[in-house]
Every structure is written in C-alpha cells, then in structure tokens.
Amino acid sequence: MTRLVISHVGKTYADGTEALHDIQLHADTGEIVAILGGSGCGKTTLLRLVAGLDQVSGGTISIGDQVLAGTHPSISAVFQEPRLLPWLNTGANIGFGGQRLSATDREARTAALLDRIGLAGYASRWPRDLSGGQQQRVAIARALIGHPEILLLDEPFSALDPFTRASLHELVLDLWRELRPTIVMVTHDVDEAVFLADRIVVMRPKPGRVHETLTVDVPRPREKLASAFDLMKRRVIRAIDRSLADERRVGIRVGSGGMSPWV
C-alpha cells in the first residue's frame, strides 16, 4: 500500500515566522483526506510542501519508502485558481499535465477527459473563452491525465458559485471512483469536507498544527440533507469549536467569542 506520510513536518520562513509546527498525518492509497481550517492556519503551506513547491524546515514527507525532495511524478495538483496556460487551447492545457505520456496516449486521454468533464468539442477553445467553472474542470482534467497516485486540491472550488461547486464535487468523486488517486484536499468549507472526504483533519493556526482528525462515517453516495450527514457536520463543527477554545486558552486572539464561524 502506497501511503503518503507527513512526519513531524515543520515550516519556518526566512523571517522567522513559523507557519507549521510538527505536522503528522497520513493518507492511505485511494483515500480522500480533507484538511480543514481557517485562513492562516497553514493548510496551503502544507499542500505546497507535499507538492514539492516549497522545502520543509524539518521532518519528512514520503510516499511509501521514498522521501520526497521536490516535485514528484506521482503527485499532481489543482490550485485555487485554474492556472491554465493562456497560450494553449483547452485540449493542449489538459495534455500539458501528461508530460510523461507518449503523444498518442496524451491525445487519446485528452479526448476522453474532455468528454468526461463535459467539454467535448471545446478542445480548440482558448481558456479566455471558458467560464470559471469550465476552466476549473480543465484544471482537474489536466491534473488527472497522468493518472497520478496523489492528487492535491488546494481549495479549487472556493471561488465558484454553489451550483458550479456542487457539480464539480460530483465530477471529482466520479473521477476518483474511476482512477482511485489518493486525494489530499484543503478547504475551509465544512459541507465540502464532509461530502468528499474519508477523513477530516482540523488544523489550528499560529503556528499551523493538527488539532484533531475525524473519520467521516457517512456511507457513500452521500446525501447532503440526510441526518447522518448533518450529524457528521455537527461533529466537525464541534471539533472546530474545540480548536478555537484551545487557541483562546493559549492566549491567541480569535474571532467573535464563542460563536463558531463555520456555521
């Protein structure tokens, strides 16, 4: 089993700011792990370390027996913004994610993915001609064309309207069922975390650290109006409240006293 293991990872910037402190977590093969937390708790920093875009200051990140040092061919990512290359058309943008594929494979997978994300016939369109949701679909397809073992999602749905967000949740789940990558996603949306994840890691800030990990025991397919879903959400919100209380105890100023900002 190829696990992603984050072991005692810390990140301190050159100016002395400690962004992450002794992070320990793992993701099993094919698991979806959501990292949940407010702004500034180091979620994105952690994801950037896993992606190899930044260097850890301490600890290790490994896949199986291999300790990561920089980017890795098995790891792919979707960012908060689609980050499509504006000089490549839609098809070429998807193909860009398959650098290691042969031209024939890349072409075939691009066509299949375009169809899969509902953009068949859009291959020659420029990114500028796509809506925000369509661009993010292309970004997801680009991240999956190489069949990565680990897919990192850095709040890719946060800038989208609720309708588009819901359809992209379904798209990600469909592609996950089909390709079974391990997904580590960062979000500040409790609904999204409960809907998509197998486990939820609640983080708290200054410096960013893991506060609590919860297993989502809601059977798939998940129904957002089901009572099990609602109960799970309450458990997550209580965990967040506990993390906020913990912060107050150590004298860190947080938002409005007592009222959870997550509901």
Partner 1 sequence: MRLTTPGPWVVGLILPLTLGVAWEVAVRQGMVSGRLMPPPSRLWASAWALIRSGEMTTHVLATLWRVGIGFTCGAAAGTFLGIVTGASATVRRLLDPSVQALRAIPSIAWVPLFILWLGIFETSKLALIGLGVFFPVYLGVLSAIQGVDRKLIEVGRVFGLSTIGIALRITWPAVLPVWVASLRTGLGLGFMFVVAAELMGASEGLGYLLLDGQQMGRADTILVAMIVFALLGKAADSLLVGVSRPILRWQDTARSRL
Binding residues for partner 1 (CB under 8 A): 51-53, 71, 73, 75-77, 79, 81, 83, 85-89, 96-97, 99-100, 126, 128, 142, 146
- Provide, rounded to whole angstroms, the least separation between the CB of residue 98 and partner 1: 8
Q: Which is nearer to partner 1, 160 or 228 (CB)?
A: 160
- Provide, rounded to whole angstroms, the least separation between the CB of residue 51 and partner 1: 6
Contacts of 114 (CB under 8 A, 6+ apart): 90, 91, 94, 120, 121, 122, 123, 141
Q: Which is nearer to partner 1, 27 or 75 (CB)?
A: 75
- Provide, rounded to whole angstroms, the least separation between the CB of residue 233 and partner 1: 32
Q: What is the 3-state secondary structure (H, E, C) of the chain?
A: CCCEEEEEEEEECCCCCEEEEEEEEEECCCCEEEEECCCCCCHHHHHHHHHCCCCCCEEEEEECCEECCCCCCCEEEECCCCCCCCCCCHHHHHHHCCCCCCHHHHHHHHHHHHHHCCCCCCCCCCHHHCCHHHHHHHHHHHHHCCCCCEEEEECCCCCCCHHHHHHHHHHHHHHHHHHCCEEEEEECCHHHHHHHCCEEEEEECCCEEEEEEEECCCCCCCCCCCHHHHHHHHHHHHHHHHHHHHHHHCCCCCCCCCCCCCC
Q: Which is nearer to partner 1, 74 or 187 (CB)?
A: 74
- Provide, rounded to whole angstroms, the least separation between the CB of residue 79 and partner 1: 7
- Provide, rounded to whole angstroms, the least separation between the CB of residue 24 and partner 1: 24
Q: Which is nearer to partner 1, 154 or 212 (CB)?
A: 154
Q: Which is nearer to partner 1, 5 or 78 (CB)?
A: 78
Q: Which is nearer to partner 1, 35 or 139 (CB)?
A: 139
- Provide, rounded to whole angstroms, the least separation between the CB of residue 20 and partner 1: 19
